Amino acid sequence: MKTGAPLFSRRSHQRGRHPWAVKIIGLTGSIGMGKSTAATMMKSMRIPVFDADKAVHSLMDPHGQAFSILAQRFPKAVGPDGINRQTLGELVFGDARALADLEGILHPMVRRLRQSFLRSHALRRTRYVIMDVPLLFETGGDKSCDYILVVTAPVFLQRQRVLSRAGMTAKKLVGILARQLPDRDKQRQATRVITSGLGKRETWIKLRRVLRRKFSVGR
C-alpha cells in the first residue's frame, strides 16, 4: 500500500504528459538490481541525472531543508552527520503511520528539487535527462516520463548484493520488497529492460546500445 504524499503528480495518466521540452527517461529497478551502477554509467556518458536518493541525502544532512522537521518527528534518528538513514529505516519499518509521516515530509521536497532540475535543463535546451528513482512506478513517476528503463538481475544475485550491505537482514529485505512493485511487473511496463547480471562491461554495452538506438543519445 502506498502512503504519504506522492512523489510525482498524478494529474496525467498518459506517459510523457509533462510541460517540459526536455525528454525524460525514467530509470528504475528493484533493490539490488544494479540501477545505481547504470545511473553512474549514464553520468559518465554526460547525460544529466536527477538522483532521487541523493536528493533525499541532501535534505537530511544538518543543513538540509528536512533536517529540523525530521529531527522533531524522529529524534532517535538524529546523528552527528544529520539524520541517520539506517536508524530512520528501523523506526519506520513495519510502522505504516511513521512511514506515511516520513513520505509526507520528504516527497514534496524531492518533487520541488526535481521540478527545479527539469526547469534548469529546459532552459538550457537539454535534449534528454535521466530520472533515477527507485520507486518510480510506486510513486506514479512513470506517468511523467517519456521512456522507462528498468534494470534487472537474477534473484540470487539480487539477494547476494543486498544482504552484503551493512545492517541488512533477510527480514528487512522482505519488507523492502513488499513495498516495491515486483520486478516482472516493472519489466512489463518498461520501454527497455537492461540486465546487469553479466558484469559491468556487459551492462555498459547494453545500456549504450539502447540509448543510441532507442533515444539517439550519443549520436
**Given pLDDT bands bounded at 50, 70 and 90, which one contains residue 68?**
very high
Does the residue 10 lie in any domain?
A: no
Domain count along the chain: 1
Name the DSSP class of 195: E
Q: Which domain holds residue 63?
A: 23-212
Reported pTM: 0.81
Does the residue 50 lie in any domain?
A: yes
- pLDDT tens sequence across 198-211: 888 999 999 998 88
In three-state secondary structure terms, 159 is helix
Does the residue 131 lie in any domain?
A: yes
CATH of the domain at 187: 3.40.50.300
Does the residue 96 lie in any domain?
A: yes
Cα-atom radius of gyration of the chain, to the nearest Å? 17
Does the residue 16 lie in any domain?
A: no
Does the residue 7 lie in any domain?
A: no
Helices 170-178, 155-163: axis angle to 10 degrees equals 120
Does the residue 77 lie in any domain?
A: yes
